[in-house]
Amino acid sequence: MPGDFSSAALAEARAAAAAPNLPDEDRSDIPFVTVDPAGSRDLDQAVHIDRSGDGYLVSYAIADVASFVRPGSALEAETLQRGETLYFPDARVPLHPPELSEGAASLLPNQVRPAVLWSIGLDATGEVSSVDVRRARIRSTAQLDYAGLQQQIEAGSPPDAFTLLREVGTLRRRLARARHSINLDLPEQDAEKASDGGYTITLRAPLPAEGWNAEISLLTGMCAAKIMMDAGHGILRTVPPPDEHAIGTLQAAARALGIEYPDDARPGDVLASVDPRDPRRVALLEHASALLRGSAYTVFDGAPPEQPLHAGIGAPYAHVTAPLRRLVDRFATEICLAAHGEIQTPQWVLDRLPQLPALMAAADHRAHEADRAVIDMTEAWLLQHRLGEQFRATVIDANTHSATIVLDDPVVRAKCSGDGLRVGSSITVTLAAADVAKRTVSFTAEKS
């Protein structure tokens, strides 16, 4: 993991935080609200949705990190090395010093902040009718977490900014189905602090409000991709369409689970048709993850790339909505601002653009390894004194002599040895090993 920031980078961050560069245009009249996981301080996005004729106006303010990070500075050099923020149950390793990421650049409530303001008009069906992107000063009026927002929506009393979130989010999800997007809404394994001071593993399904809010981010990313493709240069987040082997594997798994999968069906449509409460869905989604392999950041200059799509979204897409936490967003945003304003893209952006795919690939790999290490170590720690005990589990993937299982309690995912195990079946397993230092656990299946 990256260590502390250099003294030069910290000094630059503090100087930038003390004298923020506020845009001339003032849109602090828009009552923006942020929604993030509870306890977050690095707030990238603030939202407001209003009616516009028979459609909608989505105002989406994104933290303007480029106004704080000077090209060629020690601070920029550190961000290029880090790539993205890494999150742990008890700490975070930030992309930017906390003076910026949790202070002057963060869209904290009741603070005037420099932002990149996306104003996206939607028609009555949720399709894009207009796009504007420019720098402006904004002020968030409140900070919510997802659970609180979900409660307010269900009670019929959300903040004005989110009154139409369910409506717009639902329309955008309907359009995603028309694009045959592949939405892997897998429950997340999280390592969390427990009441006794230790740690535990929880399985958390995304709340509906998270999905609706995510549609606003996806909408913005698709608009950004179109702007860059029209401009003839940029950087897209691409995922190739699934190959026949991956589709065939998913189809076989679905039929083994007793889930209908017509020969001419699209994978995303089948996944969307399965009841979220159906326990077989998790096993099917386990196989579906193979549909979205080959993700990359694709730079182009001139014609759009030969394969411009993000298969999970079903459209070209770019990362522009999380610049506090992800390096590439800062550069893609500058291209969009320049293209929309019909001015030249800054040279510092063009100079760095070819390096970004490799930098982001390394950062993504490090983040994935960190997430997996946290979960694996916590699982082993939870089970280290329970060798020989039996547990109930569900088989989510299986080979001839082994399987991947998820325990009912605690929600541990692990390898299990055994013959003839069937995907989707509920079995009894015995804990054979739990090694905290190696971050491994293993089970054997009991014969039925």
Range with lowest mean pLDDT among 158-162, 174-178, 408-412 = 408-412
- How far is CA 335 from each of CA 47, 350, 390, 446, rounded to the nearest angstrom? 22, 9, 56, 58
> What's residue 189's pLDDT?
72
Inter-residue contact 321 to 45 (CB < 8 Å): yes
State the average pLDDT over residues 267-278. 83
Rounded Cα distance, 396 and 406, in Å: 7
Structure-block tokens of residue 13: 């961050």
Structure-block tokens of residue 255: 């039929």
| Full-model pTM | 0.91
Range with lowest mean pLDDT among 23-27, 193-197, 266-270 = 193-197
State the average pLDDT over residues 229-251. 93
State the average pLDDT over residues 195-205. 76
Inter-residue contact 115 to 61 (CB < 8 Å): yes
Pairing of strands 32-36, 128-145: parallel
CA 212 remoteness from chain centre: 13
Rounded Cα distance, 332 and 247, in Å: 32
**Residue type for position 34:** T
Residue scoring higher pLDDT (409 or 417): 417
Range with lowest mean pLDDT among 168-182, 225-239, 285-299 = 285-299
Class in CATH terms, 384-445: mainly beta
> What's residue 126's pLDDT?
98
Residue scoring higher pLDDT (189 or 400): 400
Task: Count Cβ atoms below 10 Å from residue 196 Cβ, excluding itself.
Answer: 7
- Alpha helices (H) in 299-431, listed in sequence order: 328-340, 347-352, 356-383
Inter-residue contact 356 to 328 (CB < 8 Å): yes
> What's residue 109's pLDDT?
97
- Alpha helices (H) in 125-266, listed in sequence order: 146-154, 165-178, 208-231, 244-256
State the average pLDDT over residues 360-376. 94
Local confidence band at 257 (pLDDT 50, 70, 90 cut-offs): confident
Inter-residue contact 55 to 130 (CB < 8 Å): no
> What's residue 272's pLDDT?
87
pLDDT in tens, 277-300: 676 777 787 778 889 999 999 999
Range with lowest mean pLDDT among 106-115, 251-260, 379-388 = 251-260
Rounded Cα distance, 85 and 229, in Å: 28
Rounded Cα distance, 60 and 58, in Å: 6
By percentage, how much of the chain surpasses pLDDT 90?
73
State the average pLDDT over residues 83-87. 95
Rounded Cα distance, 111 and 113, in Å: 6
Range with lowest mean pLDDT among 174-183, 217-226, 287-296, 320-329 = 287-296
pLDDT in tens, 298-348: 999 998 999 999 999 999 999 999 999 999 999 999 999 999 999 999 999
Inter-residue contact 433 to 380 (CB < 8 Å): no
The CA angle 254-258-262, to the nearest 5 degrees, is 55
> What's residue 279's pLDDT?
64
Inter-residue contact 101 to 85 (CB < 8 Å): yes
Local confidence band at 165 (pLDDT 50, 70, 90 cut-offs): very high
The domain ranges of the chain are 7-239+294-354, 244-289, 384-445
pLDDT in tens, 62-77: 999 999 999 999 999 9
State the average pLDDT over residues 264-276. 86
Local confidence band at 425 (pLDDT 50, 70, 90 cut-offs): confident
Task: Count Cβ atoms below 10 Å from residue 261 Cβ, excluding itself.
Answer: 19
